[in-house]
Structure 1
Amino acid sequence: MKTDSIFYKLFLTIPSSFFELIGISGNEAKNYKFTSREVKQLSFRMDGLFVPTNSNSDQPFYLVEVQFQPKEELYYRIFSELFLYLRQYQPTNSWRVVVIYPTRSVEREEAHQFGDMLTLERVQRIYLDELAPINSLGVEIVKLVVEPEETAVDVAKSLVEKTQIQLTDVVRQENIIELIETIIV
């Protein structure tokens, strides 16, 4: 799906945007490597995984799922992937699950099976259309994905300008501008 690859590229290019999105300092990104892992049984491929670069740390790993289409079986899959991953890799770090939705209406909660798990502090659901304004280039790019067509081009232009002003690394600047253009197309 297009949004999966956009978010994968976004979190790979601007990993701080993920941490700012979940309410943690973007500086935390320097302690993590963003990747995608396949869990061998049934060949599950996770949307994304933020794994601490220091496995001896108290930092959790984050399983990230981006879901832009309603899927009744989503939480069955996420928690299956999580527990298969835990069994297969036996990480020393604790876990967190972050599910990113464009709107609350896309979520299919399955409260009967997963109600208790969804209330755990380890599970965070983010609805992009409900995000409060955050002064972060990365989060603003994330929000561009759900920006209405009428305003998306203007917002994208503004983000390109911010990128050119805020970033001095030309290669990083070009990568982020390319990402913004990909979202708009």
Structure 2
Amino acid sequence: MKTDKLFYRIFLNQPSLISELLPEIPPDCEFDYSAPVVKEKELRLDGLLTPMDNDDLPLVFLEAQMQKDSDFYSRYFGGIFIYLHQYKVSRHWRGLLILNHRNQDLGSEIPYQDLLNNRVQRLFLSDLLNQENITGNLALLKLIVTPKKQAVSEANKILENAKTQAEFNQKLDLVEAILVNKFPQLTIEEIQKMINLREADITQTRFYQQVLEIGRNEGESNMVIRQLNRRFGNLSTTLEAKVRSLPINQLESLGEALLDFQDITDLENWFMNHEN
């Protein structure tokens, strides 16, 4: 699932990548992204891209599959056709599959050969490893399967090819996310030291902002819990979990409100009043 989210994040941040892989999609096409559940069999479609403001362009059923799965093709096409039936779809559709390599066991292709040949574009990431002159978008996908020893140099090439500061920050955000997924044992600081950040303001990347927000939330929630424990004794596991789940703005609000609490009932009432 981590890899799935990473792929969709790349596609949403680099929408022109869709047009590179599906030439009939204009490079400037905007998509509404969703992950609908097909009710009959509870099959979740990992990615449905719906072109906005142009019904003549096809829906794109996007899915990434890195591991072998002998039920993949049957589940993928089954989900598509159940969706088309359930939602009474009357427009064209295309499939886009991001796969690991050509020998990957994804089940029999025979029942779906016509669809695979005419409706679905398959990109095998291992094919990119032997290609040098590829676009910046494809280079991001190549980085996902690049061996660890070459990953840092490939990451720096991607960053060096950025033409503007905004493009640099956007690609840095994605490069960091890919490397964190590739090197899970390393800290964020160690990842940042691995790549060339001389020209980057890393505080402007979404990756950095997300990490910063997590740190702020954790610090604020720990402080609020300590104050509540001092006033009313140790919180129950349920109440502590509720406090930790609050966004930063509500944690700050609770930190002020608890000064007027008389007993633990006031905390429970506060949660009831802030459920929405």
TM range (shorter): 0.7 to 0.9
Name the SS for the 2:11 alignment partner.
helix
Query: How far 1:18 sits from its partner (Å)?
Result: 2.5
Give the structure-1-normalised TM-score: 0.84
Alpha-carbon displacement from aligned partner over 1:20-49 (angstroms, at most 9, x marks no partner): 1x1527743424333322222332222212
The one-letter code of the counterpart of 1:36 is A
Q: Does 1:9 align with 2:6?
A: no
- Residue 123 (structure 1) aligns with: 120
Alpha-carbon displacement from aligned partner over 1:112-157 (angstroms, at most 9, x marks no partner): 43334333x1122211122455542211101111111111111101
- Residue 47 (structure 1) aligns with: 46
Q: Does 1:144 align with 2:143?
A: yes
Q: Does 1:183 align with 2:178?
A: yes
Q: Distance in 2 between matches of 1:89 and 1:26?
A: 23
Match of 1:99 among 93, 97, 100: 97
Unaligned runs of 5+ in 1: none
Structure 1 stretches of 4+ moved >6 Å? none
| Larger Rg over CA atoms | 2
Contact 1:101 1:107 (C-alpha < 8 Å) held by counterparts: no
Q: Distance in 2 between matches of 1:133 and 1:150?
A: 17
Question: Counting strand residues as a fraction of each chain, which structure ranks higher?
Answer: 1
Q: Distance in 2 between matches of 1:71 and 1:157?
A: 33
Identical counterparts, % of pairs: 30
Matches within 5 A, 1:157-176: 157-163=156-162, 166-169=163-166, 173-176=168-171
Contact 1:55 1:92 (C-alpha < 8 Å) held by counterparts: no
Q: Distance in 2 between matches of 1:34 and 1:168?
A: 26
Give the structure-2-normalised TM-score: 0.58
Q: Distance in 1 between matches of 2:101 and 2:70?
A: 15
Size of the aligned set, in residue pairs, is 178
* Higher deviation after alignment, 39-48 or 1-10: 39-48
